[in-house]
Chains A and B, each alone.
Chain A
Amino acid sequence: MLHALHIVVCAGIVPDPLQTLEPVTGANGPALKNETMLPAVLDPWAASALYEGANLVAKNPGSKLWLVSMGPKAKLQQVMMTVAQKATFELVPIDSASNGFADAHATAAAVADAIEGIPGLEKTRLLIFGGWESASRGAGVTLQVVGERLGITDQFMGVDQIEMREDGSFEVLERVEGGKHQVSVCAGAPAVFGWATGNLPEPRGNPQIGMANMRTVMPALQKAKPTTLADGGLKFVSATLPSQQRQTRVVKDLAPEVIAAELVEWIGAE
């Protein structure tokens, strides 16, 4: 027997990781240099969650998928033009100047409030999806706090797979040390899932899906009210990027095993 699910994916937008990112300290604390002018993408970890959610919805007739996303409205709209081509969902936008340095508790409070406000959402069918990690320099706790605020105690992190069972329970594979998975069985919704990469490829852009989504996305964006995140008293002492090393060398006709050996040696020396 299949179960109609209500899946809410929490996915922020982040500066496109392909851009040059440089932390700076402004009047309101740390930020990224020129962040407003950098193109944004859906947080890659949470994007995996969206694709997994869409897959589950497709397999379980009667299910629905919402995407709760926080960011400046104009940026959200730009990102949605790409994301909306990938999966069918309803957007719940939170128009906020949030960035990766925002307090995770304040962010979680705004997201939880937005989820509570979704009309027709049934908690007994509710699965909260999100990224296990984030490309936005987040503290990695937002999703758990969202779950706690909604009173959901069954939480799984590093999820790679969910297998729905006929009785409404589901089996979850969570990543653990050593490249292995921990297998858990949960009695049923509600639950929170912080996805790792999952197993699905990024769906192809489909203009028809995009057009269908836009019928609800654009009105939702137009109605989105500006939200100011509460000041949780969070202070950053410093912010730095991981150091990069680029050592380019042109070599010809090198055997693969020699390249592998050199890489092993290089990694070992680091």
Chain B
Amino acid sequence: MSRLEDTADCGAPIVERQSMEADIACVGFGPAMGGFLTTLNRAWMENPSDPVFESQVAPGLPLQVLCYERADDIAAGVSGVVTAARGIRASFPDLNAADIPMAAPVTSERILYLLDPIRASRRPWMLRAGDRLLRALGGHLGVKDEAYGLPWAPRFLHKSGGLVMSIGQFNQWVGSQIMASGLVQIWPAMPVSEPLFAPNAERTGDKVVGIRLTDQGVDKQGAPESGFVAGMDVRASLTVIGDGPFGSVGRAIDKRMGMPAGHDKREWALGMKFVIELPAETTLKAGTVWHTFGYPEPEIFGFLYVHPERLASVGIFVPSWLGDPSRTVYRYLQHYIRHPALWRYLKGGTLRSWGAKSLDESGQHGEPFLAGDGYARIGEGSGSTNMLAGSGVDEAWTTGVQLAESVIELLRNRRSFTQENLAGTYERRRRASWVEHNARNAMNARNGFHLGFVPGLIGMALAGLTGGTLSIGAKIPAAHEQIRKRHTRSIKELKRREAAMVAVEDGKPLHDAMMSARGWPEIQFDGKLLVSQQDALLMGGKVQAMPGFADHVVFRDAGLCIQCEDKTCIAMCSGQALTLGTEGVPAFEREKCVHCGACLWNCGRITGEGLTNIEFRSGAGGFHSAEN
């Protein structure tokens, strides 16, 4: 270890910063990093004295592999998933789902089209006509509880042979096995603030030479206080970036290195779900999987996955292309579980946990450079999520495995981690794999949703049934341009300022007032399953915010916030950590932030530099639930 002196920018104090050498520095611990570290670890365990795995920075010792995770525990992942588990099973051929808490093999899959029993949703005329037809012919078509079960599920949606899982539990299961060998250290509660760049000696441009951990012992604005510890620099010949869809390291690299021509992260969704303990008399079997669409808004897809021991994950995805600033996901979720088709099974249940997470839905449109000098990208942030299949965990895991196999190949051949070498190994593996094949099929599958819900469904079906050969072309606007794409009549009739006044008088957010104005009834809380959003923050999971870190949500230009009428960031904030502050600038409470990242892509104002006015920096804490 050594000490460095930071060069002081104008007026900034000189900071004494520690530096450490490692062989491989890893950012974020999720399924992709699980795949990477599991594969690397196993190769080392086959022969720990193999000189291939000798550290370059600590001769005589094995590779120094350090992984840093923001969350306070590696089990604090947020996602209940159904996955085909193709890549996961390849890593664990003898996998027994019973070994992983909350995991179960998929036993049945259904796709339900949900009618709107409240008649408050914004449905296009074609859908309304279809609804009328379904209701008229309901008895013959098997419409029950305001839901129509599709008689046939397209193959591209199938997860047969797969698993229903809790990502928190899966991460914990994987992480324990990785750490047991002693090769890899996974450090929780240690956010990484940025990558370290250095000029590339061989050519123009930069290379990544490691990472910088986040400063601790600072006030909300980041100014040092008592107990200040400057974030350490971890220098490594390879930096593996698996920090998810909006990680600060991944975004910093995108900014410095740029994106491949024509690539941009424009499509997002916020997934929010409840973990519900089903009533004792439930007839739902573990492994049951439902996919739904049509309600609470046509654009909002939903799911119900049944885990063992009467637990179910039930949630919705609110996409960036919802085209409306009223994006009160929590309230939508409550209406969703109250739909008769779901409520039949959920009534009498108990809320055990709750969680939310942004999903990068750009797929290959949002794929960054997969590797550069000194670094490689894996997982969701590398554009691996397949939005046609609605699958991301298995793909992320597989990209991690592919990188590990490539790293081992390079180590065996005594080749360095240059862009060329990583492209010739990792990128080559990835391009030749099923992940790439399926991603290409899915690439344009959702474009149609930017033209409307029905064209979106048609486009998805076309792409899915033709293996991506046919799809609907559409220009995909930037996320902030998708917020106010469409306005329904009821919104026009509702004068925004009047709604704002009503909202302020009631002590409710504006988006809530708008939903009420559209006819969505208030939710009657039962204190058990239907609870206030603030109570949900305290049930099951809980939000954790270690003191001594700076605020990670920052408004770049207060003037832009004041001008912003929509303030969709507030509407979309999963934890109500953003509220209307004085003088029109949102107020941020770090203690309520679940790090879902929704504010980042729900900011409707762009700075002169072309950045959204909300900056999402690295920060500790977040949601803390083992059941998510």
Contacts and interface: CB of A to CB of B under 8 A. Distances in A.
B1 A205 contact: no
Contacts of B20: 207-208, 211
Interface stretch (A30-38, A90-98, A171-179): A30-38
Contacts of A20: 352-353, 539-540, 627
A78 B190 contact: no
Given A20-B353, A205-B190, A252-B507, A246 B624 contact: no
B499 interface: no
Contacts of A34: 101, 309, 626
A114 interface: no
Interface string B107-131: 0000000000000000000000000
Interface string A82-106: 1001000000000000000000000
B458 interface: no
Nearest to A39: B73
Given A37-B102, A37-B172, A248 B187 contact: no
Contacts of B418: none
Chain A binding surface, main DSSP class:
loop
A133 B187 CA distance: 28
A173 to B, nearest CB: 23
Interface in B496-510: 507-508
A78 B75 CA distance: 10
A201 interface: yes
Interface string B43-74: 00000000000000000000000001000111
Contacts of B280: none
B620 to A, nearest CB: 9
B18 interface: yes
A210 B532 CA distance: 40
B185 A204 contact: no
Name the interface size band of chain B: 35 or more
Contacts of A74: 176, 180
B72 A82 contact: yes
Given A81-B179, A204-B548, A207-B20, A19 B535 contact: no
Interface in B14-39: 18, 20
Contacts of A37: 75, 101-102, 169, 172, 626-627
Contacts of A251: 507
Given A82-B189, A248-B532, A222 B169 contact: no
B76 A39 contact: yes
A210 B531 CA distance: 40
Contacts of A248: 532, 534-535
Nearest to A80: B179
A63 interface: no
Contacts of B175: 78
A207 B227 contact: no
A19 B626 contact: yes
Given A39-B626, A82-B72, A82-B189, A204 B542 contact: no
B519 interface: no
B76 to A, nearest CB: 7
A18 interface: yes
Contacts of A258: none
Nearest to B182: A218
A222 B172 CA distance: 19
Contact of B232 (A36, A208, A222): A208
Given A39-B75, A85-B187, A248-B532, A78 B179 contact: yes
B541 interface: yes
A19 B534 CA distance: 16
B541 A18 contact: yes
B611 interface: no
A190 B625 CA distance: 41
A77 B172 contact: no
B216 interface: yes
Contacts of A214: 185
Contacts of A18: 541-542, 544, 624
Given A18-B542, A19-B626, A210 B101 contact: no
A36 B173 CA distance: 11
Most chain-B Cβ atoms within 10 A of its Cβ — which of A74, A201, A214? Answer: A74
B134 interface: no
A207 B626 contact: no
Contacts of B72: 39, 82
A82 B179 contact: no
A261 interface: no
Contacts of B535: 246, 248
B216 A205 contact: yes
B73 A77 contact: no
Most chain-B Cβ atoms within 10 A of its Cβ — which of A19, A210, A250? Answer: A19
Contacts of B548: 204
B537 to A, nearest CB: 11
A205 B73 contact: no
A201 B217 CA distance: 12
Contacts of A222: 182
Contacts of A19: 540-542, 624-626
Most chain-B Cβ atoms within 10 A of its Cβ — which of A18, A206, A214, A251? Answer: A18
Contact of A82 (B102, B172, B188): B188
B458 to A, nearest CB: 43
Interface in B456-486: none
A39 B188 CA distance: 12
Contacts of A201: 227
A218 B65 CA distance: 14
A78 B176 contact: yes
Most chain-B Cβ atoms within 10 A of its Cβ — which of A39, A85, A201? Answer: A39
B564 interface: no
Given A20-B353, A37-B101, A211-B20, A77 B180 contact: yes
Interface in A1-54: 16, 18-20, 34, 36-39
A210 B229 contact: no
Contacts of B532: 248
A72 to B, nearest CB: 10
A210 B213 CA distance: 14
B260 interface: no
Most chain-B Cβ atoms within 10 A of its Cβ — which of A85, A204, A207? Answer: A207
A190 B539 CA distance: 44
A204 B624 CA distance: 19
Interface string B539-560: 1111010001000000000000
A196 B255 CA distance: 49
B527 A81 contact: no
Contacts of B541: 18-19
Nearest to B538: A246
Contacts of B314: none
Contacts of B188: 81-82
A82 B507 CA distance: 40
Given A18-B624, A248-B535, A81 B187 contact: yes
Contacts of B169: 37
Contact of B186 (A81, A204, A246, A252): A81
9 contacts: A36-B101, A39-B73, A39-B76, A203-B227, A206-B229, A207-B68, A210-B187, A248-B532, A251-B507
Given A18-B624, A19-B542, A246-B535, 14 more contacts: A16-B626, A19-B624, A20-B353, A37-B102, A39-B626, A77-B179, A78-B179, A85-B187, A204-B227, A205-B189, A208-B20, A211-B185, A246-B531, A248-B532
